């Protein structure tokens, strides 16, 4: 994987993470948090799709690696909602 492919992967993960935060309605952090959420969402979403037996809907191949766009967003929404429930202020 080249440096340009790595930056593109970071950008796509950041966009997926920020979309997940926007859908969940809970926004904490900035660009780095969105990138981390995109990767966590990709892992969680891919695991959920494998457990449910559902197909990968929209994959982007970057540097020989597949990145699941739709499942990354869904996984980020689930993760942000769980974190939001656990860290809610009173």
What pLDDT score does 56 carry?
Answer: 83
pLDDT single digits (tens) 49-69: 999 999 888 889 888 888 889
Q: Structure tokens of 3?
A: 């440096």
pLDDT single digits (tens) 19-52: 999 998 877 778 898 999 999 999 999 999 999 9
The ranges assigned to domains in the chain are: 44-83
Give the pTM.
0.86
Question: Over 80: is that where the pLDDT of 89 sits?
Answer: no
Question: Over 90: is that where the pLDDT of 78 sits?
Answer: yes
User: By the 8 A CB rule, do 16 and 44 touch?
Assistant: no
- Rounded distance between C-alpha atoms, residue 90 and residue 40, angstroms: 27
């Amino acid at each position: 994987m080249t440096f340009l492919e790595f930056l593109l992967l970071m950008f796509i993960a950041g966009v997926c993470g920020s979309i997940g935060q926007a859908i969940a309605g809970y926004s904490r952090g900035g660009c780095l948090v969105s990138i981390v959420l995109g990767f966590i969402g990709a892992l969680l979403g891919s695991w959920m799709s494998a457990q449910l037996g559902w197909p990968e809907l929209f994959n982007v191949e970057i540097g020989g690696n597949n990145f699941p766009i739709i499942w990354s967003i869904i996984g980020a929404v689930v993760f942000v909602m769980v974190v939001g429930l656990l860290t809610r202020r009173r």
